[in-house]
Amino acid sequence: MQQLEWGRRYVMVRPDHFRIDYAINPFMDLADQPDPVLALEQWQHLVATIERLGGTVDVLPQRTDAPDMVYAMNLGLGLVRPGGDQHVVVSHMRYPQRRMETDTAQPWFAGLGFTTSYVGREGVGAHLEAGDAFAFGDALVVGYGPRTEKLALKHLATELGIRVRGLRITHPGMYHLDLAFCPLDSRRALVCPSALDGASAAALLELVPEPLVLTEEEALTTFCANSIVIGRTVVMPACPDRVRGQLEEWGFAVEVVDVSEFHKGGGSIRCLTNPVDVAIGRDLPSVPGGEVILPPLA
C-alpha cells in the first residue's frame, strides 16, 4: 500500500499555560486540572518521538490567555498549493473562548512564509475547525456539526479547488473528526462509525477500502483514533490489543506515547499536532471550481 506522503511536518504549541478554565466538551472538568510539569514532560516526549521517526516540528508559543491553544491541530488547515506555495486556511472556532488563538497563529504562520485565508472570522461567517479535516482518497474528508459548519465545506472546495466529502458528526464525545478517523495509508484508516449519523457512517466505510473499525468504547476511553502516522509507524496515546494486532498484521509499527494529561482537555496526540504538508495535486486531486459531496439525507 502507498504510505501517506503527508504527516512529516508538524506545528505544535508548547504547553506553558495549559489548564482547564472552562468546559466546552464532555471531557473538561474544572475540578480536574492537569499537572503542568507532567504535561510538559509528555509533550516533550511526543516532540522527541516525532523527530526520532523522521518528522519535523515547528513550535508556536502559547498565549497566556489561551489554555486550549496546545491543541494545535485546530489552529488552521495547512496545505501546499500547486507550485509549492504553503497556505493555511485559518480556523474560525465555534466557541469564543478559543478564537483569540488564531489572532496569534495567523501572523506566526505568515512569518514562516505561509499565505493565509479565512472562511469566517470573529464570530461572523462559517465556523471551521481544522481537526475536522483530513486528506484521504480523492478528497478532503470534513466532519461537520458540533464544531465545523456545513457551509464551510463549500468555502473550502471553492477556494482550494478540491473535492470535499462531508460527514455529519452526531456524537457529543467525538465532536471533531480526529477523534473518530485516522488515515493510515492510501487504503486503510482507523474509523469509529459511532461518531456519525447512519448515512455518514456508511459513506465513510464505503470510502475506506480497508477500515479498522473501532468501537465507541475504544475511541472514547483510549483516544486511539487521535493518532498520527509517520511512514509505517502509528504514534498512539494507547492501543488496545485487538487494534495493535491488526495494525501489526498490516505491517505498521505502533509507538505508544502517554499524553494522558491532555485527555483532561479532550484531546490527544492528533489534537496536539497539526500537519501542514498536505499537498494539492499529490495528496488531494485538483478539481476546477471545487466540489462538495454529502451523504444522502445529510
Domain segments of the chain as ranges: 9-20+37-293
pTM greater than 0.85: yes
Check 182, 192, 224, 271 and give the catalytic one: 271
Check 176, 182, 192, 224 and give the catalytic one: 176
Comparison of pLDDT for 142 and 298, the residue scoring more: 142
pLDDT tens digits along 262-278: 999 999 999 999 999 99
pLDDT tens digits along 148-173: 999 999 999 999 999 999 999 999 99
Q: Which residues pair with 183 in a beta bridge?
A: 189
Is pLDDT above 60 for 298?
A: no
92 classed as catalytic: no
Tell me what pLDDT residue 296 has: 84
Cell 479532550 belongs to residue: 266
176 classed as catalytic: yes
Q: Mean per-residue pLDDT for 22-29? A: 98
Question: Which CA distances in Å does 230 have to 22, 53, 206?
Answer: 33, 7, 25
Kindly give, in sequence order, each residue whose CB lies less than 8 Å from that of residue 177, ignoring residues fewer than 6 positions away: 131, 132, 133, 134, 141, 142, 143, 167, 169, 195
pLDDT tens digits along 76-92: 999 999 999 999 999 99
CATH number of 9-20+37-293: 3.75.10.10
Tell me what pLDDT residue 91 has: 98
205 exposed, middle or buried (CB, 10 Å; 0-12, 13-18, 19+)?
middle
What is the grid cell recorded at 180?
A: 473518530
